[in-house]
Structure 1
Amino acid sequence: MIYKILIANRGEIAVRIVRACKDLHIKNVAIYTEPDKDSLHVKVADEAYEIGKDPIKGYLDAARIVEVAKACGADAIHPGYGFLSENYEFAKMVEDAGLTFIGPKSEVILKMGNKNIARNLMHKNGIPVVPGTEALNKESIETIKLEAEKIGYPVILKASGGGGGRGIREVWDPKDLESSYESCKREAKAFFNNDEVFMEKLIVKPRHIEFQILGDNYGNLIHLCERDCSIQRRHQKVIEIAPCPTISEDLRKRMGVAAVAAAKAVGYTNAGTIEFLLDDYNNFYFMEMNTRIQVEHGVTEEIVGVDLISRQIRIASGEILDIDQTEVKPQGVAIEARITAENVWKNFAPSPGKITGYFPALGPGVRVDSHMYQGYSIPPFYDSLVAKLIVKARSYDLAVSKLERALDEFTIEGVRTTLPFLLAISKRRHFRRGFFDTSYIEERLQDILENTHDHNQENKEEVIAAITAAIQKVKSSRENG
């Protein structure tokens, strides 16, 4: 068994990993940059070491992290999600140092970390993929325009090394293709240090369905059912549901078989996720594979009764997966709402600051994963996620009711959060019936905001008017395209 784990991350996921380590009686080590010295993951870990003053660079300094791990006697590193979690060079560095990387092998990260390589690999193995192109960086803009015409508008440009909703541009009108292409390349270079871009057919109003994968080092590989991640804003997930409330058992089985086949095609081990787009005709297409634990892993844990972080550690320690696919049967429905420190009345601008009151929701079937506490100051340098509220009930309708109640009870004072916005979504009729796709928030944003009740609203009418004008401009562009 692994003896000591260094956690190469921060915030909520670092706290989650510390707790899993303690459950398994494994020593754990936190790292932090100077602005994070009071973060909860630093307080709850067995040991903690500062890795720099810069808020971001420290968490991205692979060599320094490996050096600290070796110096403190850690024999494994857990990357969490974000930062270096899907960085091939970091995983390889950990392996070369004689430490255990809690995740897949570095060569698998290399294959699946590049979306263009991954989709080609899936196509070769018979997994359905969205029609698209190879990497476009060496082609002229005239050639790219011809490719777009072949695919048919609308199209979507994607950074090959992208993730988290970054490096994505939808193109509905041919006249916008060149500027969107250049913009996509710039963002890809800035966020992923890789400006390679490819193009796909834009599947209009799909559902975003992902399957949790778990595989050991001996060829045993299963899925743990699906999550519906269709409630999104700007390609970033807002609410996740497990299992999907509207797909049939036959479709679930077919998608699950494809997900396992996709993971087997690359020799996947540990925990990962295969993501699909599902159209109105129940055609599904491989979108990408995340070679790490997902933010939304908690909803899967709730319906299948498996501690995914502990399983990651146990698999990395050499244990054989003792769960057979026939044993995986979802029990009830779980929903996660991502609560972020953002001001919805200022176009969801980050809202860092000191938390003067923190009262998370409680009660049966309610779980909160967070690194917040009263008196904590949210730094302005990181992702704005402050808590994940997860509820579970025996049916989707009851789970939505529990979500509504828990969101209404949850109180965070001192900073603006998306709690009122999420509460407004939970009350909507179409959401309660499970009728939504990835365009749900975008197309209903004005109405959702009108029903978002915040005692500290600022210029609500002006904000809604501005958002309405922006939405109409986008719709007009699409209609004319």
Structure 2
Amino acid sequence: MFTKILIANRGEIACRIIGTCRRLGIRTVAVYSEADAQARHVRLADEAYCVGPAASRESYLRIESIIDAAKRSGAQAIHPGYGFLSENETFAQACAEAGIVFVGPPVESIRAMGSKSAAKSLMERAKVPLVPGYHGDDQDPALLQKEADRIGYPVLIKASAGGGGKGMRVVNASADFAAALASCQREARASFGDDRVLIEKYLQQPRHIEIQVFADAQGNTISLHERDCSAQRRHQKVVEEAPAPGMSTQQREAMGRAACDAARAVGYVGAGTVEFIAESHHDSGRSDFYFMEMNTRLQVEHPVTEMITGLDLVEWQLRVAAGESLPLTQEQVPLNGHSIEVRVYAEEPEKGFLPSIGKLAYFSAPQTSAHVRLDSGVEQGDEITPHYDPMLAKLIVWDRTREAAIERMLGALAQLRVVGVGHNIAFLSKLIGHPLFREGRVDTGLIEREREALIPPPGELPAEVFEVVALAQLTFERDAASNEPPSPWTIADGWRINGAQSRRLSFASGEQNVQIDVRYAGKGYRIGSEPASVVRLSAQRLRIAIGDRRIDTDALRLGDQLHLFLRERQYVIDVLDPLAHAGESDEAQGGLTAPMPGKIIALLVEPGASIAKGDALLVMEAMKMELTVSAPSAGKLASYLCAVGEQVKEGSALVEITAE
């Protein structure tokens, strides 16, 4: 076994690998970009080396810098994690030439499966069922358009070297194909350095089911059961579970055999995932499956497989890379209970899942146990930057049945608290609790179809929320006063020579504006006719009493907002100060500003043209994805205030719009 390995990755997967290495007594070497100098994976590793600036292409994708760090540190092997260079045959070859073990499959296997088109052709020769499509080398746009028309719409354009939903577009009509192709190729080129695509018939309600395979150098190949990854948005997985709901033993065995055959066909060694798309027939229970692709690496969702088998897949990777045989045969692989994983992102679902950046002012996770696991690359106080994927953590639960696992996940999500960036926790709770998810009737279009239920418009908040916020605000004021030098002016008990003080506090949530009248009463307060009191239990925890109600809540003040965690919900309330904005002009300027930091990659409308509200005006690249920015109102596009290739900050003026 190795004594020291380098981890050519960042974030939660780097931290995850470090955890296994510590248990096995293996020293770890981290690499980091200048933006990640204080990142959690750097803090956890035994030693670390900077490999370049923030941009991935100048740091985590620089093969020569990573090989140099491995040589300087004396690492015997490199674990690539997932993403970045994990499926890069050039990197695997460079490791071999440097005499460093690549913890992954042979170069030939990566090459065979690295191109989705080549992999489809290989599976076609092996008689594995394929979705109708075009997987050829000729990438002439006119030919691709012709093939899409032949296949019939809707079609799916897919980056040949892609993954993670990058470089992927659904096209519903022939007239939309050219623009979607250009966008897909731009994103593929930026993410993978390869703009080749393939085209497939887009199944209307498919399931995404994948098989975890493992092989050793002695010729043993087994499957570790399946995972259902059908709950997706923008072709990116959001929820994964194992085993797949409704999967019969016969179906599991058939897909497992097909996956192992695919791995053997390319001489596979190590951990890999064979992905299938399945067209479900819920009424009959039958599910026809088609080969989609093979990922020659560990997957983001591998923890659910670990939870139902009790195995450490990273340990298996390291042992196989060191030349050991698989520790189990196919018949010995356990299948115990049910596991669900959700991906917690820094994003704003109500704004089209726009990524969010900022400082994690508060990050509190549920207690981990045999039932609950959290894989995270961040801690409270860390910065979420625009340079990398916005995933904060993976929350994984296990229980004896799927129904129990769902309840376990809902409870764990209620205990996961994030302040400082937008997040998708409430969205995930609604998705896991949705009747169709509970029934196991999940396909890749579920989130989009149920969007209104999963991302409901904000409604009016109950009066109790504002009463609790008012008492929390008074507590923050009292705490702030107690930190000031002793003075009559800093006493915050509301005492007055001619009677108790009354306060009117103003708050807002969306369109809702509320005023709460509070009267000081000795060491407590009165809200209306009810007595009220507050006891601080910890830095964030407050115990509030209003009349005969006792309410425990976490509260945190950040700028002009108060974040309240109450009855398994998070509320973000604006604290209004009537004097704070006095004299500010309400006059709006016509235009458009950057919703987040990013790079301008396309301007879509000629200056001087008339535009309608919602028209696409430009395309930005931010956090490894393309973001189309649309017109906020109708008018004339007077001018662009940015240029293609320009890096813009959040809030930068991008477009000037004038009324017609």
What is the TM-score of this pair, normalised by structure 1? Answer: 0.92
Aligned residue type for 2:383: S
**Contact 2:139-2:196 within 8 A present in 1 as well:** no
Instruction: Please tell me whether residue 361 in structure 1 is matched to residue 366 in structure 2.
Output: yes
Give the distance between the partners of 1:353 and 1:379, measured in 2 at CA. 7
Letter in 1 for 2:438: R
1:441 maps to 447
- 8 Å contact kept, 1:302–1:334: yes
Mapped to 2, the partners of 1:457 and 1:219 lie a distance apart of: 60
String of CA shifts for 1:367-400, please: whole Å, max 9, x gaps.
Answer: 1011222222222211001111000000000000
Give, in angstroms, the shift of residue 195 of structure 1: 1.7
The 3 A distance-change label for structure 1 pair 401 and 94 is same
Q: Is 2:572 the counterpart of 1:456? A: yes
1:92 aligned partner: 93
- Aligned partner of 1:288: which letter? E
1:184-227 Cα shifts (integer Å, max 9, x gaps):
22222222221212211112210000011111111101010000
SS at match of 2:59: helix
Aligned partners of 1:72 and 1:183: how far apart in 2?
41
Provide the residue aligned with 1:264 in structure 2. Answer: 264
Determine the structure 1 residue equivalent to 2:150: 150
What is the CA distance between 1:358 and its match in structure 2? 1.8
1:393 & 1:150 partners in 2: Cα distance? 47
Partner of 1:225: 225
Contact 2:141 2:178 in 1 (8 A): no
Counterparts in 2 of 1:17-56, with a 5 A limit? 17-56=17-56
Indicate the structure (1 or 2) with the bigger Cα radius of gyration.
Answer: 2
Which residue in 2 is equivalent to 1:371?
377
Instruction: Specify whether residues 349 and 147 from structure 1 end up closer, same or farther in structure 2 by C-alpha distance, changes over 3 A only.
Output: closer
Query: C-alpha displacement at 1:136, in angstroms?
Result: 5.6
* CA–CA distance in structure 1, aligned partners of residues 277 and 336 of structure 2: 24
Aligned equivalent of 2:474: none
- RMSD of aligned C-alpha atoms? 1.8
Matches within 5 A, 1:66-465: 66-135=67-136, 137-139=138-140, 141=142, 143-281=143-281, 282-362=287-367, 364=369, 365-450=371-456, 454-456=570-572
Any idea what SS the aligned residue of 2:208 has?
strand
User: How far is 1:96 from its partner?
Assistant: 0.7
Higher percent of residues as helix: 1
Cα drift, residue 347 of structure 1: 2.0
CA distance in 2, matches of 1:190, 1:107: 25
Post-superposition offset of 1:340: 0.6
The aligned counterpart of 1:61 is 62
The residue identity in structure 1 corresponding to 2:323 is G
Is this contact kept in 1: 2:368–2:374, CA < 8 A?
no
Using the alignment, how far apart are the partners of 1:343 and 1:352 within structure 2? 10
Measured in 2, the distance between the counterparts of 1:129 and 1:441 equals 25
Residues 419-463 of structure 1 deviation map (CA, whole Å, 9 limit, x = unaligned): 1111111221111111110001011112211188652389xxxxx
Residues 123, 369 of structure 1: CA spacing in aligned structure 2 closer, same or farther, 3 A cutoff?
same
- Worse overlay, 378-387 or 307-316: 378-387
Partner SS, residue 54 of structure 1 = coil
Deviation (angstroms), 1:151 = 2.1
Match for 1:361: what amino acid? P
CA separation in 2, counterparts of 1:278 and 1:121? 19
Contact 1:81 1:294 in 2 (8 A): yes
SS, match of residue 438 in structure 1: coil
Q: Residues 399-426 of structure 1, C-alpha deviation per residue, up to 9 Å, x if partnerless?
A: 0000111101111222221111111112
Distance in 2 between the 1:24 and 1:108 partners?
Answer: 28
Q: Which residue identity is paired with 2:306?
A: E
Q: Give the drift of 1:8.
A: 0.5
Question: Residues 151 and 166 from structure 1, CA distance in 2 versus in 1: closer, same or farther, beyond 3 angstroms?
Answer: same
Q: Which structure features the higher share of strand residues? A: 2
Q: Which amino acid aligns with 2:294?
A: M
Per-residue deviation at 1:139? 3.9
Distance 1:272 1:85, change over 3 A: same
Contact 1:103/1:269 (CA < 8 Å) preserved in 2?
A: yes
2:104 counterpart letter in structure 1 = G
Distance 2:571 2:309 in 1: 39
The amino acid across from 1:261 in the alignment is: D
Distance 1:363-1:168 versus aligned 2 partners, 3 A rule:
closer
| SS in structure 2 of the partner of residue 280 of structure 1 | strand
Deviates most, 245-254 or 48-57: 48-57
Counterparts of 1:136 and 1:457, CA distance in 2: 55
- Aligned in 2, Cα 1:8/1:251: closer, same or farther, shift over 3 Å? same
Q: Which is worse superposed, 132-141 or 398-407? A: 132-141
Alpha-carbon spacing, 1:138–1:12, altered in 2? closer, same or farther (3 Å):
closer
For residues 181 and 374 of structure 1, what CA distance do their matches in structure 2 show?
40
* 1:450 alignment partner, SS class: coil
Quick check: 1:360–1:411 contact (8 Å CA) kept in 2? yes
- Contact 2:216–2:269 under 8 Å retained in 1: yes
Moved more, 169-178 or 273-282: 169-178
In 2, Cα distance between the equivalents of 1:427 and 1:112? 37
Q: CA deviation at 1:128?
A: 1.2
Shift of 1:2: 1.5
Deviation at residue 296 of structure 1 after TM alignment: 0.6
**Counterparts in 2 of 1:139 and 1:61: CA distance versus 1, 3 Å:** closer
TM-score w.r.t. structure 2 length?
Answer: 0.68
Task: Work out the CA distance in 2 between the residues paired with 1:8 and 1:276.
Answer: 28
Tell me how far 1:329 sits from its aligned partner.
Answer: 3.1
Residue number in structure 1 paired with 2:516: none
Aligned partners of 2:53 and 2:189: how far apart in 1? 24
Task: Give the Cα–Cα distance (whole angstroms) in 2 for the partners of residues 328 and 192 of structure 1.
Answer: 35
The one-letter amino acid paired with 2:178 is E
Query: Percent identity among equivalent residues?
Result: 46
CA offsets 1:293-333 (integer angstroms, 9 cap, x no match): 11111000000111000110010001011211111231000
Moved more, 347-356 or 66-75: 347-356
Conservation of the 8 A alpha-carbon contact between 1:211 and 1:224: yes
Q: Is the 8 A contact 2:398 2:405 kept in 1?
A: yes
Partner Cα distance (1:63, 1:78) in 2: 16
Residue 391 of structure 2 aligns with an amino acid whose one-letter code is L
Contact 2:102 2:321 in 1 (8 A): yes
The answer as to whether partners of 1:132 and 1:198 remain within 8 angstroms in 2 is: yes
* C-alpha displacement of 1:152: 2.4
Deviations 1:103-157 (A, max 9, x none): 001121111110000010011112111111133644461x434423432222211
The CA distance in 2 between the partners of 1:332 and 1:204, in whole Å, is: 30
Secondary structure (helix, strand or coil) at the match of 2:239 reads: strand
Contact persistence 1:345–1:457 (CA under 8 A): no
Aligned residue for 1:241, secondary structure, equals strand
Give the deviation of 1:55 after TM superposition: 4.0
Letter in 2 for 1:388: K
The structure, 1 or 2, with the larger RCO (C-alpha pairs under 8 Å, 6+ apart) is 1
Contact 1:277 1:287 in 2 (8 A): yes
- Going from structure 1 to structure 2, the CA distance change for 1:136 and 1:185 (only over 3 Å counts) comes to farther
List runs of 5+ in structure 1 lacking aligned partners: 459-465, 468-481
Partners in 2 of 1:138 and 1:240 — Cα distance?
33
Q: Deviations over 1:11-62 (max 9, x none)?
A: 1000111111111111110111121111111111111111223342211110
CA distance in 1 between counterparts of 2:276 and 2:151 reads: 19
Residue in structure 2 matched with residue 11 of structure 1 by the alignment: 11
The Cα shift of 1:346 comes to 2.3
